[in-house]
Amino acid sequence: MQPKLVGISEIAEMADPPVTKQAVANWRVRYDDFPRPVETLQSGPVWDAEVIKTWLDAKAGHAPVVISFINLKGGVAKTTTSVAVAEILAKEFRKHVLFIDLDPQTNATINLIKEEEWQKRDGDGRTLVQLFRDKLRPDDPPVFDIEKAIIRGASTIDGGISRLDLLPSSIQFIEVQEKLPFIAMQGNYNNNPQDILRRALQPVLDRYDFVIIDCPPSLGIVTKNGLKISTHYVIPTIPDIVSTWGIFQIVSNIATFSESINRLIKPLGIVATKVQGTIDLHARVMRELRESRLFDGKNTDLKQPPLFQNQIKQNANTARGADSEANLNTFRQKYGPNYEEFFGLTKEILEKCNPPKS
């Protein structure tokens, strides 16, 4: 079916309350995520009406900034960095934050709540896997309830940070995600398998200033569910060859995905993690990243995302902090000297996103 097309004056009418054509022209300049026109006719640019409606709805609902932390390489501190940023946004910057653990390894979940609590929740359908499992059995009544699945006051810091909520993951994701590509073919079920998370989150999203997503090290359907709701992404990497080689692949894949959904997912930057000053290779790769030379020699128009000024050094303290059983109650206990670095990084992220609510 052909999409219904609308021009600037129709968009001005669609807004609630309606606005002037000039206001729509201003949005195009001001908002990076304003949809791109489908084509430009003699009368001017035209857009897919559905895409515009989604954008207007999100704008009216004070859509949060949604940041995916992503790298195809394992063990580069995606989880550690995303958890620290979420904790600092909530506790130090007083933002309302939802942390979504999309990784079947459940490292972020176990970092933020006790394993015993996670097991209880996983057993009675209160982890994200249940949301996806429900979609595989469209004829049965859904078990997943977003309000019950969200854990309020997550984190070991202070025994829980009041503004930090968590949607926990599950190891059982591994089997479920393999079946997900087939759900669109089941019966009369017309759900897009990349849209499952977005639909489930719709009733709760406007409570949050930020949503932070810890992605698994792949670009499969579960990660695409995260990207589908993301406004931005951050690439954590160890400054070495094996950790940085996949960055071009991530940036180009997300650019293509972004185009396919007609909405910009903006790369905020690359954050260097587990940096060791004594290693020559680290110094060399840091220089390459700082000078934006990572994509040199590639036949591409894509730019390397900038390197965040704050880098996270290798530190034994942070390695210990990854387990909620360790009872680390303060930022200092959990992150040691890395705390200042994570704080600086969070500040840079805030400045770059310029969130809609203060």
CA dihedral (127, 130, 132, 133) positive or negative: positive
Binding span for ligand ATP by CB under 6 A among 152-160, 188-196, 240-248, 318-326: 318-326
Q: Could you say which of 5, 54, 62, 105 contacts ligand ATP (CB under 6 A)? A: 105
Q: Could you say which of 45, 142, 160, 217 contacts ligand ATP (CB under 6 A)? A: 217
Tokens at 289, concatenated:
């990243």
121 binds, among Mg ion, ligand ATP, none (CB under 5 to 8 A by kind): none
Q: Are 169 and 126 in contact (CB under 8 A)?
A: no
Minimum distance, C-beta of residue 169 to ligand ATP, in the bound complex (Å): 11
Q: Is 75 in the site for ligand ATP (CB under 6 A)?
A: yes
274 binds, among Mg ion, ligand ATP, none (CB under 5 to 8 A by kind): ligand ATP
Q: Is 68 in the site for ligand ATP (CB under 6 A)?
A: no
Q: Is 107 in the site for Mg ion (CB under 5 A)?
A: yes
User: Could you tell me the CA-to-CA distances from 297 to 294, 300, 301 in Å, in that order?
Assistant: 9, 9, 11
Q: How far apart are alpha carbons 320 and 298 in whole angstroms?
A: 39
Q: Is 79 in the site for ligand ATP (CB under 6 A)?
A: yes
Site for Mg ion in 33-92 (CB under 5 A): 78-79
**Total residues contacting ligand ATP (rule CB under 6 A)?**
20
Q: Is 102 in the site for ligand ATP (CB under 6 A)?
A: no
Minimum distance, C-beta of residue 79 to ligand ATP, in the bound complex (Å): 3
Q: Which is nearer to ligand ATP, 171 or 322 (CB)?
A: 322
Q: How many CB atoms lie within 10 A of CB 16?
A: 10
Which phi and psi (to 5°) does residue 324 adopt?
-65, -20
3-state class (DSSP) for residue 91: helix
DSSP 86: H
Minimum distance, C-beta of residue 195 to Mg ion, in the bound complex (Å): 24
3-state class (DSSP) for residue 97: strand
Site for ligand ATP in 176-215 (CB under 6 A): none
- 148-153, long-range: CB within 8 Å, 24+ apart, which pairs? 149/121, 150/98, 150/204, 151/112, 151/113, 151/117, 151/121
Binding span for ligand ATP by CB under 6 A among 74-82, 131-139, 197-205, 248-256: 74-82
Cα torsion through 233, 237, 239, 240, rounded to 10: -120
Q: Which is nearer to Mg ion, 93 or 99 (CB)?
A: 99
Q: For residue 260, what are the contacts with CB-CB under 8 A and spacing of at least 6?
A: none
Q: Are 125 and 146 in contact (CB under 8 A)?
A: no
Residue 297's identity, in one-letter code, is: G
170 binds, among ligand ATP, Mg ion, none (CB under 5 to 8 A by kind): none
Q: Is 76 in the site for ligand ATP (CB under 6 A)?
A: yes
Q: Is 237 in the site for ligand ATP (CB under 6 A)?
A: no
Site for ligand ATP in 321-340 (CB under 6 A): 322, 338
Q: What is the longest distance spanned by two Cα atoms in the chain?
A: 65
Q: Is 234 in the site for ligand ATP (CB under 6 A)?
A: no
User: Could you tell me the CA-to-CA distances from 226 to 69, 106, 135, 237 in Å, in that order?
Assistant: 10, 15, 17, 19
Binding span for ligand ATP by CB under 6 A among 44-52, 68-76, 116-124, 145-153: 68-76
**List of residues contacting Mg ion (CB under 5 A):** 78-79, 107
**List of residues contacting ligand ATP (CB under 6 A):** 74-80, 103, 105, 107, 217, 273-274, 312, 314-315, 318-319, 322, 338
